[in-house]
């Protein structure tokens, strides 16, 4: 038995729809620029393979908690995303086997300090402080799922006004392709979450704004920035 010098941090987890058990989270990977219209609004390149960044597991914010407007930004952006939750892992997974790893799906928001991200791009610095900050990953409960990945509407509104409205079918890299690509660079494990990218229409929120999002057939998410 390992003796810790002080109590270890609690295990991050996400509720599961219809179950008392919860989903224990290991790592969070996120895909950048995975919808053509959003890639274009970010000034991205059409020919590059999917690229990944990460958020710490303790950045997750559960339903019922309102994320705080973070320090060191005046341009906090929302990004509605389909989130894949893995029940198994491996390396070099082929795309045609990738869906065997899927436990279920959730709806997430990749909150972003856009001003710091733009500065990081300009200076060729890491995205950590623009993407991996505290409370940067609001997420719905995970819906257990078998079969083909969701392909329905993905949308987000702020104070009732629709800002993002697309379908998951418009992703450049599909869920199986994302899992396959990620597994070339990391050994994936049960408990990993993958944020799969956001459609066009991202923009800022301020304190007091009400954010509501959905992925049709998967779930919805809602919070106020406080
Ligand atoms: Mn994103």
What are the structural domains of the chain? 13-224 (3.90.850.10)
C-alpha 33 – ligand 1 centre gap (Å) = 7
Q: For the chain, what is the largest distance between any 2 Cα atoms, rounded to a whole number of angstroms? A: 54
Phi, psi of 12 (to 5 degrees): -70, 145
C-alpha 95 – ligand 1 centre gap (Å) = 22
For residue 105, the model assigns a pLDDT of: 99
C-alpha 81 – ligand 1 centre gap (Å) = 7
C-alpha 197 – ligand 1 centre gap (Å) = 5
For residue 163, the model assigns a pLDDT of: 98
C-alpha 202 – ligand 1 centre gap (Å) = 10
C-alpha 1 – ligand 1 centre gap (Å) = 39
Task: Enumerate residues 6+ apart whose C-beta is below 8 A from 32.
Answer: 44, 50, 51, 52, 53, 197
Q: What is the DSSP string of 35-97?
A: BHHHHHHTT--TTSPPEEEEE-GGGEE-TT-PPPPPSS-S-EEE-EEEEEEES--BSS--HHH
C-alpha 38 – ligand 1 centre gap (Å) = 10
C-alpha 7 – ligand 1 centre gap (Å) = 33
Query: How many whole angstroms separate alpha carbon 200 and alpha carbon 27?
Result: 26
pTM of this structure:
0.97
Asked if 110 contacts 193 with a C-beta cutoff of 8 angstroms, the reply is no
Distance, first Cα to last Cα, the chain: 42
Strands 28-32 and 51-55, by their bridges, are antiparallel
From first to last of its 226 residues, the chain has per-residue pLDDT tens of 899 999 999 999 999 999 999 999 999 999 999 998 888 888 887 767 899 999 999 999 999 999 999 999 999 999 999 999 999 999 999 999 999 999 999 999 999 999 999 999 999 999 999 999 999 999 999 999 999 999 999 999 999 999 999 999 999 999 999 999 999 999 999 999 999 999 999 999 999 999 999 999 999 999 999 9
Q: Which residue has the tokens 């697309």?
A: 166
Query: How many whole angstroms separate alpha carbon 218 and alpha carbon 82?
Result: 8
The SS3 of residue 184 is: helix
The encoded tokens of residue 29 equal 């990977």
Bridge partners, residue 29, by sequence:
54, 194
CB half-sphere exposure, 91, CA atoms < 13 A: 4
Query: How many whole angstroms separate alpha carbon 74 and alpha carbon 68?
Result: 13
The encoded tokens of residue 53 equal 């960044």
Query: How many whole angstroms separate alpha carbon 211 and alpha carbon 9?
Result: 29
The SS3 of residue 93 is: coil
Asked if 209 contacts 158 with a C-beta cutoff of 8 angstroms, the reply is yes
C-alpha 193 – ligand 1 centre gap (Å) = 13
CB half-sphere exposure, 15, CA atoms < 13 A: 14
C-alpha 31 – ligand 1 centre gap (Å) = 6
For residue 40, the model assigns a pLDDT of: 86
C-alpha 198 – ligand 1 centre gap (Å) = 5
């Amino acid at each position: 038995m390992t003796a810790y010098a002080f109590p270890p941090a609690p295990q991050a987890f996400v509720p599961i729809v219809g179950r008392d058990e919860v989903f224990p989270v290991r790592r969070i990977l996120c895909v950048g620029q995975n919808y053509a219209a959003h890639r274009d609004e970010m000034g991205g390149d059409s020919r590059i393979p999917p690229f990944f960044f990460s958020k710490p597991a303790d950045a997750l914010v559960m339903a019922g908690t309102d994320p705080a407007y973070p320090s060191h930004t005046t341009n906090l952006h929302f990004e509605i995303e389909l989130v894949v939750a893995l029940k198994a892992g491996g390396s070099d997974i082929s795309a045609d086997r990738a869906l065997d790893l899927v436990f279920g799906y959730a709806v997430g928001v990749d909150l972003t300090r856009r001003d710091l991200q733009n500065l990081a791009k300009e200076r060729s610095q890491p995205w950590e402080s623009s993407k991996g900050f505290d409370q940067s990953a609001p997420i719905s409960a995970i819906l257990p799922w078998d079969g083909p990945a969701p392909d329905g509407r993905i949308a987000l509104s702020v104070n009732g006004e629709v800002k993002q409205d697309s379908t998951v079918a418009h992703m450049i890299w599909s869920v199986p392709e994302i899992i396959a690509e990620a597994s070339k660079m990391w050994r994936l494990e049960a408990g990993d979450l993958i944020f799969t990218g956001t459609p066009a229409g991202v923009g800022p929120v301020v304190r007091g704004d009400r954010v509501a999002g959905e992925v049709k057939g998967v779930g919805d998410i809602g919070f106020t920035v406080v």
